[in-house]
Chain A
């Protein structure tokens, strides 16, 4: 019994000693980082812009506080030889300990992404337990990453949140972007037979204006950050930007499209009918029996008619059927164009190589060395599309058809 007491007091005393406490950090002593932007300057040093949250300005409803008076974030920039070096240098500019786990956005400058393989750049993020692997990765198109981070955003108090959420929404609604987390990127770039893609953002307007609080105090901000298609990588280096239907084609083949609109031609009326894809599923399969594998992309889309600018008799099942065929053709064409163009770029962002690997590992062993340059561009890719129109909204025939009848 007594010895138990000794043990217990031992524990308590040793604990009391420890109340100095390693690893302890008060929340009010931390600078919560919301986003990081990385560029490279002329000397080859890394430049890092760090967006720090001012909690008091972000969370409203507190006594005396309330957002709107001052920006919700502060951006500090620093340079250094390595990413960690920059990080340490940056701490000279701020009174608090820089705290990464809440950073949900990493922006990479276009120039940097073109010059350096991103994989090596991201090593410190991946290695360090302090970084969240779920942070989103985006490319700043045509502007330094730092600028993207500096621009204050309307609606959202945190600019990082703005980009993050924009990406999420636009992926869902438009299907021209995909959210790629740090972990996804590293996973993809390390996996055999697939090259990563990232979403890209551009800046519209002047950075200097965008930095000011006035930017968001007007109904139409001068400067705004917007999602703009995809960045295509080859061997972890940025090679090109896709936008519009091209970008969507990539997203589609990757089976990441959730909702999107396809414009269909209808009897000489170009882009007259909007076919909304509500659900789709895409699978890629490979036929490895031949020397050069053959790839088949199967798309099954399901959706509705959202808009008609030409007179169509939507209450007629045959018309619907015909529209389905048109949609299939349209989607097929778009996807084939995307594949063709990407084959010219010699980078397998669709993961066709991966499909081959998963199907037939022995075959892949023979092909893997020159996959991107030799085999991928020459692949025979077949696209099969099944499109279904399930409903046509609240009305059947467009008012146009009646109007026409009226005048005819």
Chain B
């Protein structure tokens, strides 16, 4: 019925791998057209680049042409640098609109007779001031070699090889590359008479330091959280997985922002099809700006008509490392501490890194609690509405009397009351979230305590309703992933409406519909509800329950590739034989080996 749904997952391993390939193949078929287009675009700076040239710069077009005339006549390529330093600097100035933070520092090198005009160009704030001064400008000025007489080419070589004491240096010939590097914080060395420019990597500037995570807080585990810097973030993961198989691919996305985005995966563990799929989807993105990983998330997810997140995001390096080791692919985006992980499955949003750090029995109990919490936050008010307006017979009599007594004075029907309270609560939450921390606390006190108490005392809202709303609200806070909690918040209203119309019948139908919907979702070809549906028995141990760490045999079969062995056999700790009960201990040992 749907073309891209031609696979299924049984528990047969062989089958599944074959199937996933099939899925990917079909997926490619579906997107063939667009891939072809992007391939055309890639190597040559064809239409796309031209558009860029003419697009944003149309205003300066006439000026540019005049500059071209006044400058060198030998314009082999429109994109190439000019030979004259003055013309180059002029172009840079015009292109950046004379912005004061683009610093142009002319330096004279060469012997006294044959002075060679050079200039260092960089963007203030993006560069590391110290390295510019110490290793670039100072070296250029004081280097003995450069005091000799030099041709531009020779000077270029000398500077490149001997002078600049900075790790990354390369030459650029095209304006596009030049500006891209300049704007990403590299320093530019231009020499009069050369068609090349040198690019020294001096990225730096002020950045937030590594701090504790604010969203995925864990009691136990690393206190590091990602920062806004892509390099730092990647390094943090590298520090955890010290393995050359941790591969990174980077690209720039966003026509205007040219945001650096990189894919990280572990070669041999991540499934090639999934990596390819992520890469293809990322390459297809054609948008002017990428401001946060949320942009990417929305542009690469499988289905847009859903409130459920099909890409996982986290700001914890250990969470990323753990998921990479399960075979997932991480997408880092410069400028945000949130790293995307794909493919994501539903149950993943109920798991936290801490589950693996704590003992399994405790983690299992907590995971059960989380699913319960999610369920409460989803259907809490709906059950109240259904029970009080349709199925009064299902409430135990004593409770029914109490609720009835409370409802006596309430002027609204239960549904309206519930909607009022839920909306009020959402307002409170939103207000508390956006305000400064100090005021936020006040809002929650005024809102929660004063309004709640007053509303009950005034008889506008029944206390039972308030309790239900409060429990629901707390439950939605307790879900470990904000992304899934917020979708539950939204769906809750749908449940309330259906419960208000048809009681439990409506509620149950809505629940079944939700399940159908969840089952129809996929994340990068992986069924969203796996390993619950389709059920993969060997992996049920890491879903709502978490089996002991020593029993984790394999990586998830839908996600991980060939290398699926996670740990050796017989990982169960065997303490040395202790005092007494020797017979028993020996017997046990025999059983296990």
Contact = CB atoms under 8 A, between A and B. Distances in A.
Interface in B377-412: 388-390, 392-393, 397, 400-408, 410
B414 A55 contact: no
B391 to A, nearest CB: 9
Contacts of B392: 25, 27, 30, 32, 99, 101-102
Nearest to B304: A1
B481 interface: no
A21 interface: yes
B500 interface: yes
Given A27-B407, A32-B401, A55-B404, A63 B500 contact: no
Contact of A25 (B390, B400, B410, B497): B390
B501 interface: yes
Contacts of B402: 55, 59
Contact of A26 (B388, B501, B502, B503): B388
Contacts of A26: 388-389, 407, 413-414
A65 interface: yes
Nearest to B403: A27
Contacts of B250: none
Nearest to B414: A26
B408 A18 contact: no
Contacts of B403: 27
Residue among A18, A26, A27, A59 having the largest count of chain B Cβ atoms under 10 Å: A27
A55 B402 CA distance: 7
Interface string A12-28: 00010011010111111
A97 B413 CA distance: 16
B498 interface: yes
Contact of A30 (B404, B405, B410): B404
A27 B388 contact: yes
Contacts of A4: 305
Interface in B341-368: none
B142 interface: no
Given A30-B392, A55-B404, A130-B393, A19 B500 contact: yes
Given A27-B414, A28-B407, A132 B393 contact: yes
Q: Which of A1, A15, A130 has the most CB of B within 10 A?
A: A15
A394 interface: no
Interface string A40-64: 0000000000000101101100110
A104 interface: yes
B130 interface: no
Nearest to A60: B405
A24 B400 contact: no
**Among the interface residues B401, B403, B414, which one has the most CB atoms of the partner chain A within 10 A?**
B401
A25 B401 contact: no
Interface in B477-532: 497-498, 500-503
A55 B408 contact: yes
Main SS of the interface on chain B? helix
B501 A15 contact: yes
Contacts of A104: 397
Interface in A307-358: none
A130 B400 CA distance: 16
Given A18-B501, A26-B414, A30-B392, A65 B397 contact: no
Contacts of B406: 59, 62
A1 B4 CA distance: 14
A27 B414 CA distance: 8
Interface string A63-77: 101000000000000
A19 B498 CA distance: 10
A28 B408 contact: yes
A59 B407 CA distance: 12
B570 interface: no
A30 B408 CA distance: 10
A132 B397 CA distance: 12
B209 interface: no
Contacts of A58: 401, 405
Given A30-B392, A99-B392, A19 B501 contact: yes
A15 B404 contact: no
Contacts of A130: 393
A132 B394 CA distance: 10
B585 interface: no
Given A27-B414, A59-B406, A99-B392, 4 more contacts: A1-B305, A4-B305, A21-B500, A104-B397
24 contacts: A1-B305, A18-B502, A19-B500, A21-B500, A23-B390, A23-B503, A25-B389, A25-B390, A26-B389, A27-B400, A27-B404, A28-B407, A32-B397, A32-B400, A32-B401, A34-B397, A58-B401, A59-B401, A59-B402, A63-B457, A65-B405, A101-B392, A101-B393, A102-B397
